[in-house]
Chains A and B, each alone.
Chain A
């Protein structure tokens, strides 16, 4: 596939459960970003990875959120002990390098916490 892919496309979970969201970036892209989009809101930055550098975690809303990127490619965003306010669309994007390079977005994972 040529684009960014995310899985699952939809996830319904119960409050208190943990969830894992996956992102497959475009091959060769060294930068990977996670954003969250809530209803009526713009995209909220969560975390970004650039090559082998330490990730920028400054956007993570709480310590229940974590992300890792294995082998410089696939990334997993984990939300522990989910809360109803975590319900949102989680978008992943990748780019060749950071900065002004175009970010290509995946279709997102729609998370609903009941």
Chain B
């Protein structure tokens, strides 16, 4: 049983389009992190959100943490081929060191 469900699993779009990736859970997390992973490399942290309702923006990427701290979304505006990669969400507990990862969304942006 996956604690965090990500959707869609695969996303293939043209350069310039907008997209949203979702990360949902029935559990409450003290923090929610988004990672991006490229082939042959480990995941790299994009953002950490810790407050319910929090919105963070990184250039064309907008991250939102749900009010109940059970879900999150990642929105990319005007996607570029360089955005191609596996996007992973991960939930953290307040006392445990481990992270609970979703299966990821494989994004491909075509020029």
Residues of A near B16 (CB, < 8 A) are none
What is the 8 Å Cβ interface bit string for chain B, positions 76-111, against chain A (1 contact, 0 not)?
000000000000101010111111111110000000
Choose one: B44, B45, B48, B88; the contact of A43 (CB below 8 Å): B88
State whether A45 touches B99 (Cβ < 8 A): yes
Total interface residues in chain A, CB < 8 Å: 27
Residue of B nearest to A41 (CB): B103
Choose one: B44, B92, B96, B104; the contact of A42 (CB below 8 Å): B104
Main secondary structure of the interface of B (DSSP, over half): loop
Using a Cβ cutoff of 8 Å, how many contacts connect chains A and B?
A: 64
Total interface residues in chain B, CB < 8 Å: 27
State whether A42 touches B45 (Cβ < 8 A): no
State whether A107 touches B103 (Cβ < 8 A): no
26 contacts across the A-B interface (CB closer than 8 A): A4-B42, A31-B97, A40-B103, A41-B103, A42-B2, A42-B4, A42-B103, A43-B43, A43-B88, A43-B99, A43-B101, A44-B101, A45-B98, A45-B100, A45-B101, A50-B97, A56-B97, A91-B42, A98-B96, A99-B97, A100-B48, A100-B92, A102-B45, A103-B99, A105-B42, A105-B44
Give chain B's interface residues, CB within 8 Å of chain A: 2, 4, 6, 30-31, 40-45, 48, 50, 88, 90, 92, 94-104
